[in-house]
């Protein structure tokens, strides 16, 4: 892969950063648990000091006026998420000896014999702040109770002197401020790799703030934070000092890194010979479904769930890799009309600016694909465009990353039959496997039966499955692994490979 070099000064800065990291990678791999705990506590102290400035900078960059309640999103998905990540790692490392942290995790066996681990609520704060929220990690087949410790904190089973230090290039996301630093924590504390974090140009205003928060890691030469455009990022992906790459972004960017561009890239893909030989892990988004199971919904249910659906679609202005993009409904279910009407009214009232580059072009393309698009005005902001999913194959295959939504209706004679069909539709028709949502009335769920319901949702091939909440909530839950459904290949990457967050350091897992 041939990429134009960034400016000479920039290259020199990158080279200097990579040289310092390369010299420190083995030292970091051998760093003791006690030293790592001290670093995490120092990061928490530094983070507390810069958090208000972080939130103010992010809110301003996204066009939110001072004091806007939507700045609360920047707290949750910014410094709070990073603080929770630090706390999760501290809790694990403090109990690393004999892996005693495993003793506090309730286990159950699923109908297919797999283990489910309840990781939330796990603390007093979970119970206070996340009342009613429960999160489980469903392990892959072959993991059993007797040998559970073999799949937790594996990187720490290797004696420090036997560890192999590596250098990871982390290509940060531009939409959610905590993604990049959380990816860095994962690489450093779970995979034992020093990091060069290259910020996305959309939010590189965070450079100085993140440098202050993560200063203890920078002082150890375990981390460097740089900025630059796409050309700079491409150049760094081929730098000889880089051992591994982690990217949060688009499928197209991932494929350019791995395979290159043009006809030669197609030939390499067909031959199975990547241009970039490095291990590449990724979180790439997709077309996320929300399955709305028919049931005995009251007017209050409709009002509440409309608010939840609006959040799934329009949190952060709709610029989320796991934003709901396809609503799956039962044909003929009468409450659907009232639900959609309330949803559209709520989104019409969301007039925040469309800050992410390219949103207007993506939405125009989305509108042109629809046969009879419904347009919901949002003041000066881009309208919500609603289409029939079956209007164009692109609605199932292309993430809109903005205020675009499609609706599909399936024929079914019962709630269980509908749920089965909707799961098949999501698995077979929709691109990506990052997150899926199911909204179901408790009485409907009870009628299906716990065993049967669990068997059905086990068929969903998504990294995170959320029941009566948004899968994006799992991003904020530090013990939950975050990433695509396992098993994707480089030539069919879907929503990526590998997991991040996962502060209990599990292997062979998904989140439910």
The answer to the question of residue 377 being in a domain is yes
Do 370 and 227 sit in the same domain of this protein?
A: no
Helix, coil or strand: residue 359: helix
The predicted structure's pLDDT at residue 6: 62
Do 302 and 372 sit in the same domain of this protein?
A: yes
* Contact criterion met (CB below 8 Å) for 434 and 462: yes
pLDDT band at 407, cuts 50/70/90?
very high
CB atoms within 10 A of CB 338: 14
Do 239 and 381 sit in the same domain of this protein?
A: no
Ranges of beta strands (E only) in 124-208 are 135-139, 166-171, 193-198
* Alpha-carbon gap, residue 178 to 172, rounded angstroms: 9
Q: Kindly tell me if the per-residue pLDDT of 367 is higher than 70.
A: yes
The predicted structure's pLDDT at residue 2: 46
Query: What is the full DSSP assignment across 74-129?
Result: HHIIIIIHHHHHHHHHHHHHHTTGGGGGGGGS-EEE-TTS-EEEEEES-SHHHHHH
The answer to the question of residue 402 being in a domain is yes
Q: What's the pLDDT tens digit per position in 409-462? A: 999 999 999 999 999 999 999 999 999 999 999 999 999 999 999 999 999 999
Do 445 and 507 sit in the same domain of this protein?
A: no
The answer to the question of residue 312 being in a domain is yes
- Which residue in this structure is represented by tokens 């791995």? 258
pLDDT band at 5, cuts 50/70/90?
low
Do 277 and 296 sit in the same domain of this protein?
A: no
Do 301 and 260 sit in the same domain of this protein?
A: no
Two tokens at 501? 């967050």
Range of the domain at 349: 288-476
The answer to the question of residue 276 being in a domain is yes
* Alpha-carbon gap, residue 188 to 208, rounded angstroms: 20
Mean pLDDT, all residues of the chain: 95
Q: What's the pLDDT tens digit per position in 153-175? A: 988 999 999 999 999 999 999 99
Do 417 and 325 sit in the same domain of this protein?
A: yes
Q: To which H or E segment does residue 55 belong?
A: helix 33-61
* Alpha-carbon gap, residue 93 to 413, rounded angstroms: 51
Average pLDDT over residues 487-500: 97
The answer to the question of residue 491 being in a domain is no
The predicted structure's pLDDT at residue 290: 99
Do 55 and 203 sit in the same domain of this protein?
A: yes
Q: What's the pLDDT tens digit per position in 74-91? A: 999 999 999 999 999 999
The answer to the question of residue 2 being in a domain is no
Average pLDDT over residues 469-494: 97
Do 266 and 332 sit in the same domain of this protein?
A: no
List the one residue out of 494, 467, 465 whose CA is nearest residue 137: 465
* Contact criterion met (CB below 8 Å) for 133 and 469: yes
Q: Pairing mode, if any, of strands 135-139 and 115-120?
A: antiparallel
List the one residue out of 203, 198, 269 whose CA is nearest residue 234: 198
Instruction: Tell me the CA distances in angstroms from 8 to 148, 176, 207, 232, 234, one per residue in order.
Output: 51, 30, 21, 11, 15
Do 269 and 355 sit in the same domain of this protein?
A: no
The answer to the question of residue 490 being in a domain is no
Average pLDDT over residues 250-275: 96
Average pLDDT over residues 246-255: 97
Segment 90-99 long-range contacts (CB within 8 Å, at least 24 positions apart): 90/37, 90/40, 90/41, 91/122, 91/123, 91/503, 92/153, 92/503, 92/504, 92/505, 93/33, 93/36, 93/37, 93/40, 93/189, 94/37, 96/33, 96/153, 96/156, 99/149, 99/152, 99/153
The predicted structure's pLDDT at residue 4: 55
Instruction: Tell me the CA distances in angstroms from 424 to 396, 461, 510, one per residue in order.
Output: 13, 10, 19
The predicted structure's pLDDT at residue 394: 92
Average pLDDT over residues 176-182: 99
Q: What's the pLDDT tens digit per position in 120-140? A: 999 888 999 899 999 999 999
Do 305 and 259 sit in the same domain of this protein?
A: no
Average pLDDT over residues 324-347: 99
The answer to the question of residue 484 being in a domain is no
Average pLDDT over residues 310-337: 98
Q: What is the CATH number for 466?
A: 3.40.309.10
pLDDT band at 59, cuts 50/70/90?
very high
pLDDT band at 96, cuts 50/70/90?
very high
pLDDT band at 3, cuts 50/70/90?
low
Ranges of beta strands (E only) in 331-471 are 374-378, 381-388, 404-410, 435-439, 464-467
Between these two residues, 286 and 5, which has the higher pLDDT value?
286
Q: What is the CATH number for 257?
A: 3.40.605.10
Do 252 and 299 sit in the same domain of this protein?
A: no
* Alpha-carbon gap, residue 164 to 29, rounded angstroms: 7
Taken in order 121, 126, 131, 135, is the CA torsion positive or negative? negative
Two tokens at 483? 């990433």
The total domain count for the chain is 2
Two tokens at 208? 């100085």
């Amino acid at each position: 892969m041939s990429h134009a070099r960034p400016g000479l000064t920039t290259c020199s800065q990158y080279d200097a950063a990579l040289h310092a990291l390369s010299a420190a990678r083995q030292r970091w791999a051998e760093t003791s648990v006690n030293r790592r705990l001290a670093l995490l506590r120092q990061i928490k102290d530094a983070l507390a000091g810069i958090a208000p400035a972080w939130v103010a900078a992010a809110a301003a960059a996204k066009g939110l006026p001072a004091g806007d309640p939507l700045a609360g999103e920047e707290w949750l998905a910014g410094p709070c998420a990073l603080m929770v990540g630090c706390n999760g790692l501290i809790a694990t490392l403090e109990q690393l000896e004999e892996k005693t942290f495993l003793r506090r995790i309730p286990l159950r066996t699923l109908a297919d014999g797999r283990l489910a681990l309840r990781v939330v609520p796990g603390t007093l704060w979970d119970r206070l702040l996340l009342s009613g929220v429960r999160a489980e990690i469903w392990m892959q087949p072959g993991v059993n109770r007797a040998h559970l410790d073999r799949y937790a904190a594996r990187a720490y089973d290797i004696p420090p002197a036997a560890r192999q230090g590596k250098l990871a290039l982390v290509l940060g996301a531009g939409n959610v401020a905590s993604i990049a630093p959380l990816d860095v924590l994962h690489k450093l504390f779970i995979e034992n790799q020093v990091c060069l974090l290259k910020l996305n140009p959309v939010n590189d205003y965070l450079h100085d703030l993140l440098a202050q928060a993560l200063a203890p890691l920078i002082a150890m030469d375990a981390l460097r934070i740089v900025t630059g455009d796409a050309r700079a990022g491409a150049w760094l992906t081929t730098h000889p000092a880089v051992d591994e790459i982690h990217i949060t972004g688009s499928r197209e960017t991932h494929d350019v890194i791995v395979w290159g561009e043009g006809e030669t890239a197609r030939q390499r893909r067909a031959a199975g010979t990547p241009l970039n030989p490095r291990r590449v892990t990724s979180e790439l988004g997709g077309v996320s479904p929300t399955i709305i199971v028919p049931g005995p919904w009251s007017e209050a249910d409709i009002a509440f769930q409309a608010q939840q659906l609006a959040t799934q679609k329009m949190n952060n202005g709709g610029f989320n890799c796991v934003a709901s993009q396809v609503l799956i409904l039962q044909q003929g279910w009468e409450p659907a009309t009232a639900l959609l009407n309330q949803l559209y009214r709520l989104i019409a009232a969301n007039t925040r600016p469309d800050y992410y580059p390219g949103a207007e072009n993506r939405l125009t393309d989305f509108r042109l694909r629809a046969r009879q698009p419904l347009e919901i005005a949002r003041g000066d902001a881009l309208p919500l465009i609603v289409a029939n999913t079956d209007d164009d194959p692109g609605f199932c295959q292309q993430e809109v990353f903005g205020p675009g939504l499609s609706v599909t209706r399936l024929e079914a004679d019962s709630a269980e039959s509908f749920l089965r069909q909707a799961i098949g539709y999501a698995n077979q028709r929709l691109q990506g496997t990052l997150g899926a949502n199911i909204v179901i009335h408790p009485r409907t769920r009870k009628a299906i039966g716990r065993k049967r319901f669990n068997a059905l949702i086990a068929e969903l091939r998504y990294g995170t499955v959320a029941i009566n909440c948004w899968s994006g909530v799992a991003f904020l839950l530090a013990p939950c692994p975050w990433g695509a459904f396992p098993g994707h290949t480089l030539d069919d990457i879907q929503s990526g490979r590998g997991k991040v967050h996962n502060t209990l350091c599990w292997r062979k897992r998904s989140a439910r």
